[in-house]
Amino acid sequence: MNAKLLQEIGLTEGETKVYFALVKLGLTKSGPLANESGVSYSKVYKIIEKLEKKGLVGHILKGEVKYFQPTNPNRILEYIEEKEKSLEDKKKQVEQMIPEISDYLSKSGNLSEAAIYDGFKGTTNLFKTMLDELEKGDEYYVIGASYGDVKGLRDFFYKHHLRRTEKGIKLKMLANLEVRGNLEPTTKKQAEIKYLPQYLMTKMEIVFYKEKCFIVLWTESPVAFLIKNTEASKSFKQYFDFLWKIAKP
């Protein structure tokens, strides 16, 4: 049985150990349960209480002694469904808060002119934010597009360009020569693409739109540098136009 899976849906390591011990033992008292699970006797009762609140464990009384047992395993699915509903409710609440927070930040000037983003999620979130900020008919530019050796990056960009085309956002891209004939098919929709010559290829990718630009280094642990500056964006556009002339279709 996959203990890690239960932890991923919200159970603690101790709760997982106690639950699986109950599955193995069936109806049992707290003493044998502590021994089987490897959880100290002083903690077992607290863990059982939490599992009972989650609906995964029940108990019966024999005289004055409590015996515990797991509930129907289908209850695990019900527990996941309840968590999903709770998350959906929280998501709606956050969505209602976002305009208020954005308005406050824009008025207070608390948004940084530059920031560093580390890791796959941090760097790819920049692309998601860009699509949130662009409207139908808008365009963004890319210099040095590639997939590097980053696991999951191709799948991310496949979905990214699907969303981009659904929103009607255009793309003008200078890709590295190494990806010629091997781009994710969704990249080519509503896009103009040329390829940089071999001597200009790099693992560094530059993306810019409106007054924002970000530079991403696609290494094993990606890192990105975001700049919010109109002049910087204009400079990258001039650089892009120069490279566009020497790039090949």
CATH number at residue 56: 1.10.10.10
Is 101 inside a domain boundary? no
Does residue 107 register a pLDDT over 70? no
Tell whether pTM > 0.75: no
Q: Is residue 69 part of a domain?
A: yes
Which of 16, 50, 75 finishes a domain? 75
Residues 137 and 17 occupy one common structural domain: no
User: Within this chain, do residues 122 and 241 fall inside the same structural domain, yes or no?
Assistant: yes
CA–CA distance, 61 with 63 (Å, rounded to integer): 6
Are residue 120 and residue 232 in the same domain, yes or no?
yes
Helix (H), strand (E) at residue 22: helix 13-25
pLDDT at 108: 56
pLDDT tens for each residue of 164-181: 999 999 999 999 998 999
Question: Is 215 a domain residue?
Answer: yes
SS3 state at 2: coil
Based on the structure, what is the number of domains in the chain?
2
- pLDDT in the model for residue 100: 72
Domain with 160, as residue range(s), is 112-246
Q: How far apart are CA 208 and CA 172, in angstroms?
A: 10
Quote the CA–CA distance of 32 and 25 in Å, as a whole number. 8
Instruction: Determine, yes or no, domain membership for 96.
Output: no
Task: Give a yes or no: residue 80 inside a domain.
Answer: no
- Say yes or no: 226 and 117 in one domain: yes
Is residue 190 within 8 A of residue 164, CB to CB? The reply is: yes
Residue 186 is assigned to a structural domain of this protein: yes
Residue 207, domain CATH: 3.30.870.10
